[in-house]
Amino acid sequence: MIVDGHIHIMGKDCVRDDFPGRLRAAGIDGGIVFSLPPDNFMAAAESPGSEERIDNLMVLCDGNDVLFPFFWIDPTAGDAESQVNRALNSGIRGFKVICDRFYPDDDKALRTFNVIAERGHPIMFHSGILWDGKVSSRYNQPINFEILLTVKNLRFSLAHIAWPWTDELIALYGKFQRAYQINPDVSCEMFIDTTPGTPAVYREEVFRKLFSSGYDVENRIFFGTDSLVEDYDVSWAAEWIERDEGILKSLSLSEGFTGKYFSGNVLDFING
Q: How far is the CB of 179 from Zn ion (least distance, A)?
A: 27
Choose the stretch contacting Zn ion; rule: CB under 5 A; options: 17-25, 37-45, 136-144, 218-226: 218-226
4 binds Zn ion (CB under 5 A): no
Q: How far is the CB of 207 from Zn ion (least distance, A)?
A: 20
Specify the residue, 40 or 149, whose C-beta has the smaller distance to Zn ion.
Answer: 40
Choose the stretch contacting Zn ion; rule: CB under 5 A; options: 35-43, 49-57, 115-123, 220-228: 220-228
Q: How far is the CB of 6 from Zn ion (least distance, A)?
A: 6
Query: How far out from the chain centre does Cα 163 lie?
Result: 14
Residue whose beta carbon is closest to Zn ion = 226
Specify the residue, 100 or 226, whose C-beta has the smaller distance to Zn ion.
Answer: 226
Q: How far is the CB of 42 from Zn ion (least distance, A)?
A: 14
Specify the residue, 8 or 121, whose C-beta has the smaller distance to Zn ion.
Answer: 8
Specify the residue, 4 or 226, whose C-beta has the smaller distance to Zn ion.
Answer: 226
Residues 163-182 that bind Zn ion (CB under 5 A): none
Q: How far is the CB of 193 from Zn ion (least distance, A)?
A: 9
Identify whether the C-beta of residue 50 lies closer than 8 Å to the C-beta of residue 86.
Answer: yes
245 contacts: CB under 8 Å, gap ≥ 6: 258
SS3 letters across the chain: CCEEEEEECCCCCCCCCCHHHHHHHCCCCEEEEECCCCCCCCCCCCCCCHHHHHHHHHHHHCCCCCEEEEEECCCCCCCHHHHHHHHHHCCCCEEEECCCCCCCCCHHHHHHHHHHHHCCCCEEECCCCCCCCCCCHHHHCHHHHHHHHHCCCCEEEEHHHHCCCHHHHHHHHHHHHHHHHHCCCCCCEEEEECCCCCCHHHHHHHHHHHHCCCCCCCCCEECCCCEECCCCCHHHHHHHHHHHHHHHHHCCCCCCHHHHHHHHHHHHHHHC
Choose the stretch contacting Zn ion; rule: CB under 5 A; options: 129-137, 161-169, 225-233, 260-268: 225-233
Specify the residue, 74 or 226, whose C-beta has the smaller distance to Zn ion.
Answer: 226
Range 11-30 burial, b when 16+ CB lie within 10 A, else e: eeebeeeebbebbeebebeb
Specify the residue, 7 or 116, whose C-beta has the smaller distance to Zn ion.
Answer: 7
193 binds Zn ion (CB under 5 A): no
Choose the stretch contacting Zn ion; rule: CB under 5 A; options: 10-18, 103-111, 223-231, 233-241: 223-231
How many chain residues bind Zn ion (CB under 5 A)? 1
226 binds Zn ion (CB under 5 A): yes
Specify the residue, 144 or 186, whose C-beta has the smaller distance to Zn ion.
Answer: 144
- What are the residues binding Zn ion (CB under 5 A)? 226
